[in-house]
Structure 1
Amino acid sequence: MGAPPQRTLARHDMPQFYLLVALYFVQGIPVGLAFGTIPFLLKSMAKDTSFTTLGIFSMASYPYSLKIFWSPIVDSIYNKKVGRRRSWIIPIQCISGASIFFLGSCISRGIVFKGVDDAFHGRTGGVHDLNILNLTWYFGILVFLCATQDIAVDGWALTILSKQSLSYASTAQTVGINIGYFLSFTVFLSLNSSDFANKYFRSVPREYGLVSLGGYMKFSGIIYILLTLYVVFYTTEKPWQDVLPRLHSPEMKKDDEPKVIFEYEDGDTVSTSNNAGILYVYQCFLKIASLSSVQVLAIIHLTSKIAFQCNEAATNLKLLEQGFKREDLAVTVLIDVPFEILFGYYVAKWSSDSNHLQNSDRGNLRKSKKSWFTWIIGTPGVLTPWLWGYLGRLASAILGTVVVKSFPKDGHISRVYFLTVIIQHLLSSFMSTVQFVGISAFHTRIADPLIGGTYMTLLNTLSNFGGTWPRFIVLSLINYFTIYECKIPGKHNLVYQGGSMDRCTKELGGTITILRDGYFVTNLLCCIFGICLYFGFLKKKSQELQSLPIGSWRCE
């Protein structure tokens, strides 16, 4: 299985590591906006926004889950003088920065997402005339650009670090994306809240927060451009490194099969059969997709996240709906940030140590098969952190039901309840990080560096799509299972199941009483599915996948 992974990051790899962190950081900005901030603003500033509407907006995240279809193009078309990865990173980041700045300007002027920044510019009216489809398209384009950049950065991550530090590529990804995501979601929402700013920063209350959405996006666009300038002037790719393909020998006979030499920063090389250009990459992609090991991994990715969808998409929004203050919710989520950043490194080390244990201590592992640990997780290996993360997220989903169900009827938030909300948030976000780092380390371990961008994109796409395709369905189910009574003054009360509540409040002038909250039904179904899936399929198949030789993942 090869030499055990490096336990610490090599000193000579630190500049490249920090560059990867920065590249992943800017990716996290549009991801945090599209996946977290915009749904949060819709629900908090336009409280009549239905979960079905939020499900429609969730489609803006789909490009992240479909990028595999154009990743072979990114892997194959490039300028050799600029570099295989820099050929894409430089223009895509320029376009992304300009797009984010332009969209931010439109939001500030009230052209897009009307009303969201009104308080910052002396306007009145609040969020109104919202065209959710247009908003989905605008942010979908940003996510598409971000996904394209991710393809190139994933491929570069496999080569920019020396082989001994390769396991820390997933650490850079985790730290960078989490910083960008939480800065654009948690930190932004805190600074955008007038209540938060008035409570913690101001002596004279005002009707707006410290940072507007449009202003933040314009600032982010500038950060994109500055990082791009650094990549242009202060980075290079060696002419022989990561170029597809290079012949093994100039004296090769015509009948000999061409070979590709791939060289790491530390001089280590690997070679494999190859045919030049984009056709080869697509052919290799199809071969990879036909591998039984990859197909099993695909099923795991596409099903495992269903268990957490209701909790992670709706628990915070339900708390807001019930009266939990926005600034208090921002504080609970804000506490996650240092945990995500600081412990991401140790989770990566855990994955690395698990891989080392699997490779070097198989005899001792066989002796422990009857332990309770083995019954729950199975034989320790590189996927052990991922399995622990799954169980942790499942526990958080169950705790989410408890948190929403026990919300104080009088609206008074006690310290005990507030602490419970914090624990639920920490458990969910930290275990999500454990899973992310664990599976990223596994992807890095099995990916073929010769088509690194495409291979990593295939694996990451499957993982991302597993978290996006169920979201619209789950959010729609919350609406479907909800039963509410519309009390109309002077008329008979009407009972509805599902559908929009706007008709009751706006057209009929009634008030709503929830008779059955679809959130609880949907979350229960998700959790039951997750428990059955884990003990019936995930644990067993994960054990099989982590024990396969590297050759089982190659398209040679």
Structure 2
Amino acid sequence: MSPTISYKDSSRQRRPGSYQNSVDMLKRELPPPDFCGDGRAEVGDDREALLQEPSVTPLGTPRGYRAELGSILLLLFLYVLQGIPLGLAGSIPLILQSKNVSYTDQAFFSFVFWPFSLKLLWAPLVDAVYFKSFGRRKSWLVPTQYTLGLFMMYLSRQVDSLLGEEDGKSPDVVALTVTFFLFEFLAATQDIAVDGWALTMLSRENVGYASTCNSVGQTAGYFLGNVLFLALESASFCNKYLRFQPQPRGIVTLSDFLFYWGAVFLITTTLVALLKKEDRERHPSKEETKGIMDTYKLLFSIVKMPAVLTFCALILTAKIGFSAADAVTGLKLVEEGVPKEHLALLAVPMVPLQIILPLIISKYTAGPQPLNTFYKAMPFRLRCTACMLL
């Protein structure tokens, strides 16, 4: 988050020729819009599109989304890739439950999802350290996705042993937790880089599409890595719906799935590195932070704001009322004999809703009071949870 959000640049309100006389000029001792407070011209190669001056993008000529359709589709695809590790990590508890793993081990495995909750801790590092010649966001996105691809291909050779498929032993939950924690850490780092790139990739008029790409892309990626994988991995599902001759195994295994998506990560990352260029013509604002320590100081100053503390308290406590129902219901159903692939298919009707709903409510959440929708929806979700427990 840039500190420019907290300060209004007075140069945005000026127009050339607005001063009528020298007295008026003396009253308004303002620096030129292209200079820092110490008189030096601002330099840089990366400026958030949200902070563009009117001189960069004239208000009279707004850019429609069609002009940036390629960038929007690229963002959507990057968020789809981001959802694959999330979906795979979400499918592991169902596989473990089918092997009669204890709830204590299930709770321990849930640590793998923490990187997405704690990514704020290293997000300033991702924002401040980069190679200018390669690009601010690509400096992290490309190495991270290459590492993800190689990690998935390596994991494809080890995952059967970790799950106890080869020797008939019980799953090694500790090793699985450490492995998928690193997996999700890389995915969370990729998320930081993509979120930051969305601000510079899209113009000010179209930057709102970034959140839509995030919601739709992650949902689609989670569906591929969770629902589709569990269905194709199940021998009973494949024999019933996809095969003429029964086979003892599903169409794909977890190792096959990991190897395939590892190859996809490597190929697509190479294409992004070679073909997609970052815009280096925009100039950074004078409030933009320059180093790692400045970035962390800015982070702490923002976190200490009363409004931010209140919002953090809201986010940290909002899911207490239905966290147990969300986390345990699926595991209990598998324990009672419901096939994990059938449980995964229950999410299929929700996928179109999860993709379309953000598009519908975006006009309500993009205004000056975006949390009003959250406040109105939360009581209904709590009531639904209470009905499930009765």
TM-score of the aligned structures, taking structure 2 as reference length: 0.80
Q: Distance in 2 between matches of 1:9 and 1:345?
A: 17
1:400 aligns to 2:388 (yes or no): yes
1:234 aligns to 2:289 (yes or no): no
1:208 to 249, 267, 292: 249
Q: Percent identity?
A: 35
Gaps of 5+ in 2: 1-7, 13-49, 51-61
| Residues 9 and 60 (structure 1), Cα distance of their counterparts in 2 relative to 1, 3 Å cut | farther
Match of 1:335 in 2: 349
Q: Which amino acid counterpart does residue 182 of structure 1 have in structure 2?
A: F
| Residues 137 and 235 (structure 1), Cα distance of their counterparts in 2 relative to 1, 3 Å cut | same
Match of 1:95 in 2: 147
Deviation of 1:88 after TM superposition, in Å, equals 0.5
Match of 2:192 in 1: 151
Q: Distance in 2 between matches of 1:138 and 1:176?
A: 24
Match of 2:161 in 1: 111
Q: Secondary structure of the residue that 1:307 maps to in structure 2?
A: coil
1:16 aligns to 2:71 (yes or no): yes
Q: Distance in 1 between matches of 2:349 and 2:72?
A: 26
RMSD of aligned Cα (Å):
2.4
Q: Which amino acid counterpart does residue 60 of structure 1 have in structure 2?
A: V
Q: Distance in 2 between matches of 1:326 and 1:103?
A: 22
Q: Which amino acid counterpart does residue 387 of structure 1 have in structure 2?
A: Y
Aligned length: 333
Q: Distance in 1 between matches of 2:292 and 2:314?
A: 29
Deviation of 1:272 after TM superposition, in Å, equals 4.2
Deviation of 1:387 after TM superposition, in Å, equals 2.5
Deviation of 1:145 after TM superposition, in Å, equals 0.7
Q: Secondary structure of the residue that 1:141 maps to in structure 2?
A: helix
1:195 aligns to 2:204 (yes or no): no
Match of 1:386 in 2: 374
Match of 2:365 in 1: 351
1:308 aligns to 2:296 (yes or no): no
| Residues 53 and 155 (structure 1), Cα distance of their counterparts in 2 relative to 1, 3 Å cut | same
Deviation of 1:171 after TM superposition, in Å, equals 0.4
Q: Deviations over 1:337-357 (max 9, x none)?
A: 2222233322323423xx1xx
Q: Secondary structure of the residue that 1:164 maps to in structure 2?
A: coil
Match of 2:108 in 1: 56
TM-score of the aligned structures, taking structure 1 as reference length: 0.57
Deviation of 1:320 after TM superposition, in Å, equals 1.8
| Residues 223 and 400 (structure 1), Cα distance of their counterparts in 2 relative to 1, 3 Å cut | farther
Deviation of 1:274 after TM superposition, in Å, equals 4.5
Q: Distance in 1 between matches of 2:267 and 2:377?
A: 36
1:319 to 311, 314, 333: 333
| Residues 135 and 285 (structure 1), Cα distance of their counterparts in 2 relative to 1, 3 Å cut | same
Q: Which amino acid counterpart does residue 393 of structure 1 have in structure 2?
A: R
Q: Is the 8 A contact 1:168 1:348 kept in 2?
A: no
Deviation of 1:9 after TM superposition, in Å, equals 6.2
Question: What is the correspondence of 1:159-308 to structure 2 with a 5 Å cutoff?
Answer: 159-241=200-282, 261-262=283-284, 271-274=285-288, 276-308=290-322
Q: Distance in 1 between matches of 2:227 and 2:182?
A: 22
Q: Is the 8 A contact 2:63 2:205 kept in 1?
A: no
Larger relative strand fraction: 1
Q: Is the 8 A contact 1:192 1:208 kept in 2?
A: yes
| Residues 163 and 62 (structure 1), Cα distance of their counterparts in 2 relative to 1, 3 Å cut | same
| Residues 280 and 94 (structure 1), Cα distance of their counterparts in 2 relative to 1, 3 Å cut | same
Q: Deviations over 1:112-138 (max 9, x none)?
A: 2221xx6xxxxx74xx23221111000
More displaced, 139-148 or 192-201? 192-201
